[in-house]
Amino acid sequence: MAGKIEARLAELGIDVPAAAAPAANYVPYVVTGNLVFISGQVPFVDGKITYQGKVGTDFTTEEGIDCARVCALNIIAQVKAACGGDLDRVVRCVKLGGFVNCIDGFGDQPKVINGASDLMVDVFEAKGRHARFAVGTNALPLNVAVEIDAVFEISSGSQI
């Protein structure tokens, strides 16, 4: 039987992708105590990097929001892996850290990262409300438009 969060995902029409393997010498998440630290997630879809370029020239703010949502889906995939597939173990999304690859003078980084924040609340409801930061930068790895990391609190259980 599907859990509450899986049912919520189905209700929202959201398919969580498989958790991506790390691209270098790091791990995609670390579980310590009841906290899960998710490494920065980029807009990786079906094995390919998407949204390469800068918000403000290559992408509109609205496209940046969509990119942040893709990053958030990848965060959910990683926390699902950290929970052994059981998203009902999520106690709370504690914090998101959002980086936006943007042009000088762009000031809508918080609006862009809302794409991720809104998804966390849509999926986890009150448990999805979190602290966060949203900053602009002149470059991100692989020239992606957005990268987001996260911290979650999870309930006890078998940890991978």
Q: What is the pLDDT of residue 156?
A: 85
Give the residue extent of every domain in the chain. 4-154
The CATH code that applies to domain 4-154 is 3.30.1330.40
Write out pLDDT tens, residues 54-113: 999 999 999 999 999 999 999 999 999 999 999 999 999 999 999 999 999 999 999 999
Q: What is the pLDDT of residue 157?
A: 65
Phi, psi of 80 (to 5 degrees): -65, -45
Please give the span between the terminal C-alpha atoms of the chain, in angstroms, as a whole number.
22
Give the predicted TM-score (pTM) of the model: 0.95
CA dist list (Å): 6 to 33, 122, 160: 24, 12, 20
Write out pLDDT tens, residues 6-40: 999 999 999 999 999 888 899 999 999 999 999 99
The answer for 85, left when phi > 0, alpha when psi is -120 to 50, beta otherwise, is left
